Amino acid sequence: WCKEHICEDMHWGFQIISGDLPVHKDIGTQVKLIYLIELGGTNVLTNFYAEDKITITNSYNIEVHRWHILQAEKYHSVHNVESTRFSITGRVFPK
């Protein structure tokens, strides 16, 4: 559906998160489109970090049922996941 209705050239997939994600950079992509279907909790935060992996530069409570752009090449983490977090993801600029 995503290839047909959004962009044929992107790599599309599903992401299921059942717990917090530690500080990391995504491998193989610079930017992702994310459509969050299930939040995974009432106060799930996506934090972005400086290169020291400690200093939080931004923190977001990503809204459900909207498209979001994620700078996947920047250090980030996901916290406060209480249940299953489910999203559709598309790689915009694969490495």
Q: Are 23 and 52 in contact (CB under 8 A)?
A: no
Average pLDDT over residues 19-39: 94
> Would you give the distance in Å from CA 17 to the centre of its chain?
10
Q: Are 17 and 84 in contact (CB under 8 A)?
A: yes
Q: Which pLDDT does position 14 carry in this prediction?
A: 95
Angstrom distances, CA of residue 39 to CA of 10, 16, 31, 50, 59: 24, 11, 20, 25, 15
The pLDDT mean for the chain works out to 93
* Tens digit of each residue's pLDDT (9 = 90 or more) over 41-79: 999 999 999 999 999 999 999 999 999 999 999 999 999
Q: Which pLDDT does position 70 carry in this prediction?
A: 93
Q: Which pLDDT does position 95 carry in this prediction?
A: 58
pTM: 0.88
